[in-house]
């Protein structure tokens, strides 16, 4: 049996648990950084899972382009489109009432121009009700970030291992070692200057993430970036134990694959033996 999920009862605040009965906003997130308060973000792709996370007090949910892999079964994030992600984002918004819902702009939906980025972001906000968007890249995406922020769209940046560039990196590898750490720091500062409200740092050395976190006034959200980030994010299928070969940075909090296997085998056995459905599951 996996150990039970740690209790959160010690630390609910306006951010961590949406105590105010309204959605978490970028102002709450900025205030959490000032207070030095750490917070969790998880991915979500459907209404029922979103409701569970929302009721557990998760303040920010990301409808990641990781949906390409965990929902649609592709082997990278590249194939999904805005049309693929809008229904998932709308479902997460409908399933939650307190979390900020961030929509990931997928590959090919923002790189060609600031105008394209704004059109994609506007679709996520108008058609799905997203509260913010995330896009990958540093200084090369500044025109997009600036246009979105000027149009009133809260933007989350994403640096380090940016999976939409997996073919440039030659695989899913740690980024920011050696000299490239200085480049990442410059990207992070440029994103902050352009107006992002938070920056995801994926698969970067813990010491670099610590320096970036200290240098920025907006929060860093780590995934494989060590313990010093202001927030941590995991793909929910990784943290719940559904993913078959999770990355080194994943901590498995539950054995969902094992529990589901157990349950569906019990159902199959009871159907075969006639135990299910019992009289209490039948109408007279």
Q: Which H, E and C letters describe 208-261, residue by residue?
A: HHHHHHHHCCCCEEEECCCCCCCEEEECHHHHCCCCCCCCCCCCCCCCHHHHHH
Q: Report the relative pairing of strands 100-104 and 155-160 from DSSP bridges.
A: unpaired
Please identify every residue annotated as catalytic.
202
Cβ distance to ligand KIV smaller for residue 14 or 53: 53
Measured from each CB, the residue nearest to ligand KIV is: 64
Cβ distance to ligand KIV smaller for residue 28 or 65: 65
Give the tokens for residue 123: 């679709």
Min separation Cβ 7 and ligand KIV, Å = 26
CB of 200 within 8 A of CB of 210? no
Min separation Cβ 82 and ligand KIV, Å = 14
Placement of tokens 């994609």 in the chain: 120
Min separation Cβ 92 and ligand KIV, Å = 12
Cβ distance to ligand KIV smaller for residue 52 or 78: 78
Q: Classify the phi-psi angles of 12: left when phi > 0, otherwise alpha if psi is within -120 to 50, otherwise beta.
A: beta
Footprint of ligand KIV on this chain (CB under 6 A)?
43, 62, 64-66, 104, 200, 202, 223, 233, 235
Min separation Cβ 155 and ligand KIV, Å = 14
User: Three-state DSSP class for 221?
Assistant: strand
Backbone angles phi, psi at 179, to 5 degrees: -60, -35
Give the tokens for residue 119: 């059109």
Cβ distance to ligand KIV smaller for residue 32 or 102: 102
Number of H helices and number of E strands within the chain?
11, 8
């Amino acid at each position: 049996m996996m150990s039970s999920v740690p209790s959160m009862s010690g630390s609910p605040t306006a951010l961590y648990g949406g105590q105010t009965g309204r959605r978490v906003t970028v102002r709450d997130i900025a205030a959490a950084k000032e207070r030095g308060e750490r917070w969790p973000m998880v991915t979500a792709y459907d209404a029922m899972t979103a409701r569970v996370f929302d009721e557990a007090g998760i303040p920010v949910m990301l409808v990641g382009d990781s949906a390409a892999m965990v929902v649609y079964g592709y082997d990278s994030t590249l194939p999904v489109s805005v049309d693929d992600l809008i229904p998932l984002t709308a479902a997460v918004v409908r399933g939650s009432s307190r979390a900020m819902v961030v929509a990931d702009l997928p590959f090919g939906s923002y790189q060609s121009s600031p105008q394209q980025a704004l059109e994609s972001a506007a679709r996520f906000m108008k058609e799905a009700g997203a509260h913010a968007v995330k896009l990958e890249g540093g200084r090369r995406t500044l025109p997009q970030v600036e246009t979105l922020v000027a149009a009133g769209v809260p933007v989350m940046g994403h640096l380090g291992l940016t999976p939409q560039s997996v073919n440039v990196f030659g695989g899913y590898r740690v980024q920011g070692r050696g000299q490239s750490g200085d480049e990442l720091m410059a990207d992070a500062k440029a994103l902050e200057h352009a107006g992002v409200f938070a920056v995801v740092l994926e698969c970067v050395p813990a010491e670099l993430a610590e320096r970036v976190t200290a240098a920025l006034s907006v929060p860093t959200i780590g995934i494989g970036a060590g313990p010093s980030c202001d927030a941590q994010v995991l793909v929910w299928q990784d943290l719940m134990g559904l993913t078959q070969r999770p990355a080194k940075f994943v901590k498995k909090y539950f054995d969902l694959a094992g529990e589901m296997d157990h349950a569906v085998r019990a159902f199959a056995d009871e159907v075969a033996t006639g135990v299910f459905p019992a009289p209490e599951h039948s109408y007279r």
